[in-house]
Amino acid sequence: MHKTLLKELVTRALLVPKKIFTKGLGWLAARLYFYLVSPGLLRSAAAYIYEQYGSNKNTQKEKTLYCVLDLEYCSVTFDTVSRLAACDVHRRMLGLTHIHPIIVPGKLHGVREEIPEYQSIVSISDRVWRIENMMVPIFHLLPSCKSYTKLENRSDIKYFLKDKSSILPSIYSLTFPCALSNNVTQTLKRTSQTATDCFRARAEEIQQIKKYINDTSSKRKTIVISLRQYDYIKERNSNLDSWITFADYLQKNDYSPIFVPDIDLAKKGIPEKMKQFPICLEASNNIETRMALYQEAWLNMSIAHGPMELCWYNKKCRYALFVKPSPSPQVQARALKRNGLVLNEQPVFATAYQKWVWEKDDLNIIKKVFHEMEKELST
């Protein structure tokens, strides 16, 4: 059995005790019965083995990698960026020309059931809205993605995939559904690649944002400051006072700061003390505008949060990213490792002028990092 298939099976097997604990023995009995009476798992395994050993991918007429985003297992967040980046790295390894995302609806009105704390802040309707207004626009930023499919029913996926030769996850089926990996580092190692330059802003948005920057900044260098002001895990939010004071410092030193608030802050209302600076609300609400602004900025600065993933796999985006110490599970070493990141180290996909700072966003640290980047970018 192929080592990748075996590893994925072992990984899923290790989750069984946790699911038994949370869902009970009834879940285990129902799942075992389902596998025994359904031939789908056998068909999926057989198809996978044929794909790996019985076919020659380089001579196939099909030049598309089909990437399954099952919303019962994938959250509707900016993690979509990393999932697609991992797919694009895999596509290059296979010698294919395009990727084609397939959105499989979750069981709860098209999405999955989240933990109560998250669900109380980001409602089901908000998450459904994000499919068309966050996830799909991300597809448009990937040049290798020319089309996508959004299925109406979960069962449609078995018909859609039956004649497809290249699929990720490679063992995906309705009988054995799983999440599309967002571990770009692991994918790079598996495919012996180093580059992840996947995403680009589209020409129309670039043209519009250049005009905006010219009108806003004139000939001054633009520093884009992205903010996280989210009601979920508030300790990960931006230090608003520090960033506003820093913006004032930039203006006094002939730079042009532009704030990009997150959607939550934009909806609640911009704080008065921020209104003295340019604020690009269009970038808050439009993913493609946001990418164009990130790409055309002289430098992006922000704490680590979802929208900044747009910068990670675009070598034209120059940034300093602050990963602030926090008790939240997302920034613990174990969780970081699952996503291919190592505490206090630069990710393998970070290129020149892309800096990860494993410190909090206090004013003195922000200034120190800015001057380090200023020196690098000026040489």
- Residue 17's contacts (CB-CB under 8 Å, 6 or more residues apart) are none
Mark whether 180 and 311 lie in a shared domain.
no
Mark whether 83 and 149 lie in a shared domain.
yes
Mark whether 283 and 338 lie in a shared domain.
yes
Mark whether 74 and 152 lie in a shared domain.
yes
In a domain, 11, yes or no: no
pLDDT of residue 269: 84
Question: What tokens does 226 get?
Answer: 């992205």
- Residue 378's contacts (CB-CB under 8 Å, 6 or more residues apart) are none
pLDDT of residue 145: 97
Mark whether 216 and 113 lie in a shared domain.
no
Question: What tokens does 88 get?
Answer: 């694009």
Mark whether 166 and 100 lie in a shared domain.
yes
Distance CA 105, CA 118 (A): 19
In a domain, 37, yes or no: no
In a domain, 197, yes or no: no
Distances (CA, A) of 203 to 163, 212, 213, 327: 35, 14, 15, 41
Among 207, 202, 246, which Cα is nearest to 224's? Answer: 246
* DSSP one-letter string for 317-350: --EEEE----SSGGGSHHHHHHTT--TTS--TT-
In a domain, 250, yes or no: yes
pTM for the whole structure: 0.83
What's 238's domain CATH number?
3.40.50.2000
In a domain, 29, yes or no: no
Mark whether 122 and 180 lie in a shared domain.
yes
Last residue of a domain, one of 190, 221, 251: 190
- For 293, the domain range is 204-378
User: Mean pLDDT in each 10-residue stretch from start to end of the chain (379 residues)?
Assistant: 50 67 64 47 44 41 91 96 96 95 97 93 95 97 97 95 92 91 89 87 97 94 96 92 98 97 83 94 96 98 96 97 80 75 90 95 98 94
Counting the structural domains of the chain, the total is 2
For residue range 181-199, list pLDDT tens digits in order: 999 988 898 888 877 899 9
Last residue of a domain, one of 131, 157, 190: 190
Mark whether 230 and 327 lie in a shared domain.
yes
Mark whether 81 and 183 lie in a shared domain.
yes
Amino acid in the structure at residue 176: F
Mark whether 175 and 211 lie in a shared domain.
no
pLDDT of residue 38: 41
Last residue of a domain, one of 190, 215, 236: 190
Distance CA 69, CA 75 (A): 9
Mark whether 301 and 226 lie in a shared domain.
yes
Mark whether 98 and 223 lie in a shared domain.
no
pLDDT of residue 74: 96
Distance CA 74, CA 111 (A): 9
